Amino acid sequence: MSLSSPVAPSPAASSGDLIARYDANAPRYTSYPTAAQFTSAVGAEQWGGWLARAPLDQAVSLYLHIPFCKRLCWYCGCNTRAVNRESVIASYVDLLLAEADLVLKRIGRPVRVGSIHLGGGTPNMLAPADLERLFAGLAARFDLGHCFEIAAELDPEVLTPEWVEAAGRIGLSRASLGVQDLSPDVQAAVNRPERFETIRWAAEALRAQGLVSLNLDLMYGLPRQTVENVVTTLGLVTTLRPERIALFGYAHVPWMKPHQRLIKDADLPDAPARFLQSQAAARYLTSKGWTAIGLDHFALPHDGLAAAQRAGRLRRNFQGYTTDQAPVLIGLGVSSISRTPDGYVQNLSQERDWRAAVSAGGLPTARGVALSAHDAFVAAIIERLMCDFAVDVAEVAARLGCAADSVAGAWSLLARFVEDGLIEVDGRRLSVTPQGRPFVRAVCAAFDPTAVPAANRHARVV
């Protein structure tokens, strides 16, 4: 069934009403099927088969996970741990290269790489010599001649001049600096002291070494955080004119990340307060010249992300919004996720298990999910909604050779969104209204047959 004529929005739907109605728990839809659907039914053997037949006509993307930090921030949802011993990190680099060898053996053909992303954790926990050794090792194994982007997530408080010089030598082109919030009160509530002067130094030093795109990660919804904290932080960091700003809503998932219990529930802003913080940030950034990208990113008009959005070529993957169009992603390291057109797999997420598997010469695959034709159809609908806030379901069905009616159940679930003015529907074309944008994950969930509105599974929508 489709909704052919939009129903008039209910005039009484204030943002408070909408939050009460739609602020359920939903995935962030960085993939579909989501990581929650991965199971051990897909393991190393199947992944080896998928690698052997992976399409290599386009360059692949590499993701390398560095699960080490100097200290643990209490809000952190990443797979990482506090480590001080350099030898632990150096041996991890050896094993990353050993894992690359295992993957290349299964692929059995030369592999061209288009982009490399170092994520974490904190990739600048690698000693500068280890960073260069890692890249020399990658260059000896992969064809990096077509690599157009080398990106890394960096903690400014751990960054050194020596690391920045090494970054210049490996050709780092994009960096994401973790900022979160610069108010001492909020920083104390999350165990993350950080000074604006350090961030300014990091931005200037990296740019002087050839960085072309600077991203800053900010957060809202942190303990003791207010609209004023968010706007004050933005006032400082926008003076650096970062090409991109990511504004993540704090995902409080203590059942998955027990250290988040160090954050007092009473200190957390409630859903309406979070909503006001995100809206104030969006107003501030758009008034200063950044374009809103998808759910939580902002980009200056000359940046590739803004250009991709204008061209309808914005993509979404495990790193969030991206310009990366590669059909094959090879993830190396603890908990990394990989993808081919056949499906997704994730590596073992305990470092000791991952080290043992790689040392024994086996692919360290823990779980995954095969992608059916219907999954690919739902994935394409959800990706367009997350990126463009609009999708023509009939067009996607025709492009992928699927029956548009196979998602017919979604339209009845979406009737209340139409009534509340969150979406407009014209035939099989759906667009999310400006008022509906904060709730786009709930719109996506209507197409997701696996969506379970379970409180203890995902973070809040807003």
Ligand X SMILES: C[S@@+](CC[C@H](N)C(=O)[O-])C[C@H]1O[C@@H](n2cnc3c(N)ncnc32)[C@H](O)[C@@H]1O
Q: How far is the CB of 298 from ligand X (least distance, A)?
A: 14
CB nearest ligand X: which residue? 178
Contacting ligand SF4 within 43-102 (CB under 6 A): 69, 72-73, 76, 78, 80
Q: How far is the CB of 67 from ligand SF4 (least distance, A)?
A: 9
Alpha helices per DSSP H over 288-336: 304-310
Residue (of 293, 283, 289) closest to 321 by Cα position? 293
Interacting residue with ligand SF4 among 2, 25, 61, 122 (CB under 6 A): 122
Which of these ranges, 27-35, 120-128, 135-143, 260-268, lies near ligand SF4 under the rule CB under 6 A?
Answer: 120-128
**Alpha-carbon distance 240 to 275, whole Å?**
26
Quick note: the x/- pattern for ligand X over 353-382, rule CB under 6 A, is ------------------------------
251 scored as a contact of ligand X (CB under 6 A): yes
Contacting ligand SF4 within 251-290 (CB under 6 A): none
Interacting residue with ligand X among 180, 215, 225, 336 (CB under 6 A): 180
3-class secondary-structure state, position 392: strand
Which of these ranges, 70-78, 285-293, 317-325, 329-337, lies near ligand X under the rule CB under 6 A?
Answer: 70-78
331 scored as a contact of ligand X (CB under 6 A): no
From residue 257, alpha-carbon distances to 249, 260, 264, 318, 451 in Å are: 16, 6, 14, 18, 21
DSSP, residue by residue, 49-61 = HHHHT---SSPEE
**Alpha-carbon distance 422 to 435, whole Å?**
6
320 scored as a contact of ligand X (CB under 6 A): no
Alpha helices per DSSP H over 142-245: 161-170, 184-190, 196-208, 227-237
| Whether 242 contacts 204, CB under 8 Å | no
Which of these ranges, 10-18, 71-79, 298-306, 447-455, lies near ligand X under the rule CB under 6 A?
Answer: 71-79
Interacting residue with ligand X among 25, 122, 173, 322 (CB under 6 A): 122
78 scored as a contact of ligand X (CB under 6 A): yes
Strands (E), 232-333: 244-249, 291-293, 297-299, 315-317, 320-322, 329-332
* HSE-CB of 294 using CA atoms within 13 angstroms: 32
- Among ligand SF4, ligand X, none, what does residue 72 contact (CB within 5–8 Å per kind)? ligand SF4
* Site for ligand X, rule CB under 6 A: 69, 75-78, 120-122, 153-155, 178, 180, 217, 219, 248, 250-251
